[in-house]
Amino acid sequence: MRLLTVAQIAKSFGAQQVLQDVSLTVDSGEVVHIAGGNGSGKSTLLKIVAGIIPATSGTFQLGENTHIGALIENPGFLEGESLKTNLTFLAAINHHSDPAVMAGLAQRFGLDWHSRQSMKKYSIGMREKAGIIQAVMEDQNLILLDEPTRGLDEAALTQLVNLVAELRTAGKAVIIASHDRYTPITYTANYQLEGGRLTRQSDGVPSIPS
């Protein structure tokens, strides 16, 4: 099932062209990696797909049943509130709250669901975990993860690898953007973003560190 079609997207910020002629399709069961250096446009592309910013030209189309979950850059939280309050609030926006699912994900990533600690006191890794959780907790089927390994400890990395595999098995799709490919994750397609252009790499060939 096709979840996303990106066709010839270009994006400029003022005179700076960040993306040009970017095309991509994502089907259920896919785990897509987008590599690219700092400032290459990875977050910009994910923001366009998530509907956060508009493209300058080109189109993208979601599938009829595509429901996007996204962790892009630094997710905003209600800083004075707890994890539970934040996630419950986010889920309520879409009337998709399942406390058992949220509590289960928190436990899985080693976060205390009942902690009253406010999110402003969370470490970088804890925030990243909360960001991952909100991207999947509503049964979203197209999950965009921007640098999802940032700050994660070994146990959380293992959970992320397992989670991505489970999402894939469940017929969902994941797009991961990061400088380096995190190799324990099995990707179905590898892309490189460079000079504003997205090119597909031959699958299964590790990227050469630059």
Ligand X SMILES: Nc1ncnc2c1ncn2[C@@H]1O[C@H](COP(=O)(O)OP(=O)(O)OP(=O)(O)O)[C@@H](O)[C@H]1O
Instruction: Please say which residue, 9 or 18, places its beta carbon nearer to ligand X.
Output: 18
Task: Provide the minimum distance between the beta carbon of 31 and Mg ion in the complex, in angstroms, as a whole number.
Answer: 19
Q: Which does 40 bind (CB under 5 to 8 A by kind): Mg ion, ligand X, none?
A: ligand X
Tokens of 33: 């990696």
Angle between helices 124-136 and 154-169 (to 10 degrees): 10
Judged by CB under 5 A, the chain residues 88 through 147 that form the site for Mg ion are none
Return the sign of the alpha-carbon dihedral for residues 60, 190, 194, 69.
positive
178 makes contact with Mg ion (CB under 5 A): no
195 makes contact with ligand X (CB under 6 A): no
Angle between helices 124-136 and 99-108 (to 10 degrees): 140
Judged by CB under 6 A, the chain residues 13 through 42 that form the site for ligand X are 13, 18, 36, 38-42
Q: Are 178 and 33 in contact (CB under 8 A)?
A: yes
Judged by CB under 5 A, the chain residues 27 through 46 that form the site for Mg ion are 42-43
Task: Provide the minimum distance between the beta carbon of 193 and Mg ion in the complex, in angstroms, as a whole number.
Answer: 10
Collapsing DSSP to helix, strand or coil, 172 comes out as: coil
Residues that bind Mg ion (CB under 5 A): 42-43
